[in-house]
Amino acid sequence: MKILVTGGCGFIGANFILYWHKNYPGDIIINVDALTYAGNRENLKDVEDSPEYVFVHADICNNEKMLEVTKGVDVIVHFAAESHNDRAISDPALFVRTNVLGTHTLLDVARQNNIKRFHHISTDEVYGALSLNDPQKFTEERAYNPRSPYSASKAASDHLVRAYFHTYGLPVTITNCSNNLGPFQFPEKIIPLFITNLLEGKKVPVYGDGLYVRDWIYVEDHCRAIDLVIKKGILGETYLIGANNEVPNIILAKKIISLLQKDDSFIEYVTDRPGHDRRYAIESAKIQRLGWNPLFSFDDALKETVRWYVEHQAWWKRLKHKKPC
């Protein structure tokens, strides 16, 4: 099989390529990445010399190039996206271009080249926010209610994917996942930012009152879920992926501080960002019925992630103060 991965030099995309190469060594993997600030070819140095791996430096908005590279491809797994909320607030147009127009380009070329499966990676943020005392969790039936430029752009891309299924019969599936943690995550994101700040002797910035809750999943568990949906998912359907690990940011900070043998004096409360969603939580019953369950507990996943950043300081130090292209 020939599988094309967009955004494969990013955090989740790189982990997915490493996962797929390990578990399906006969498959050809084409990695299309524009190598913006968060894309790093070093993430895939373990496979770069493999004859089953091909890297293509390209922008997913380039219709002509995407039409060329998707010829003969069986499956497209679409990770490529701008994803950092703080950046979306300062430059929403970039998020609309990549997340909406880029997805539209890929859907068009997938239709033209008769791709057998288009799998779209999305986020739980499209569903809006839950209150801290709300017993509900996000389900596939929940109405979309994006509250930031980032989540709105991802919601728009989800709607386009479904439209191509209903209008053109393009064989699609969608997964909306909770927050990921693990190796190769760009150090602007909360967990690697906290880890690397502490390793540099700096404080960790906690927004507002620190009671913003996210549902965390180890990136390898996410990759396994995508694999299962590609194999067994019903065409046109959406599957929510979460590991039932709701953690307030202040508790997350304290856990990382403890793992790195620091104390609470390293916590610094900072001004909240605009439109900050209070809580996300996912009900994963639908994908569990396909046969998936997370293998990693949150504490084990966090320990493994901290260990990785401790052991790969040269990797993140080169990236931490890298400016956007």
Kindly report, residue by residue over 169-197, the tens digit of the pLDDT. 999 999 999 999 999 999 989 999 999 99
Q: What is the pLDDT of residue 84?
A: 65
Q: For residues 245 and 255, give the distance between their C-alpha atoms in angstroms, rounded to a whole number.
A: 14
Task: Indicate whether 325 pLDDT > 60.
Answer: no
Strands 213-218 and 246-248: antiparallel
Task: Indicate whether 324 pLDDT > 60.
Answer: no
Average pLDDT of the chain?
A: 95
Q: How confident is the model at residue 321 (pLDDT cuts 50, 70, 90)?
A: confident
Q: How confident is the model at residue 142 (pLDDT cuts 50, 70, 90)?
A: very high
Q: How confident is the model at residue 320 (pLDDT cuts 50, 70, 90)?
A: confident
For residue 285, the tally of other CB atoms under 10 A from its CB is 11
Mean pLDDT of 234-238: 98
Closest CA to 145 of 235, 240, 280, 236: 280
Q: What is the pLDDT of residue 323?
A: 53
Residue 255: strand, helix, or coil: helix
Burial class (CB in 10 A: 0-12, 13-18, 19+), 154: buried
Task: Evaluate whether the domain defined by 2-184+216-244+283-297 bears CATH number 3.40.50.720.
Answer: yes
Q: What is the pLDDT of residue 82?
A: 84
* Residue 68 one-letter amino acid: E
Mean pLDDT of 278-296: 97
* Residue 62 one-letter amino acid: N
Measured in whole angstroms, the distance separating CA 110 from the mean position of its chain's CA atoms is 21
Q: How confident is the model at residue 80 (pLDDT cuts 50, 70, 90)?
A: very high
What would the pLDDT profile of 28-78 be if each residue is shown by its tens digit? 999 999 998 888 999 999 999 999 999 999 999 999 999 999 999 999 999
Task: Indicate whether 90 pLDDT > 80.
Answer: no
User: Where in the sequence numbering do the catalytic residues fall?
Assistant: 124-125, 150
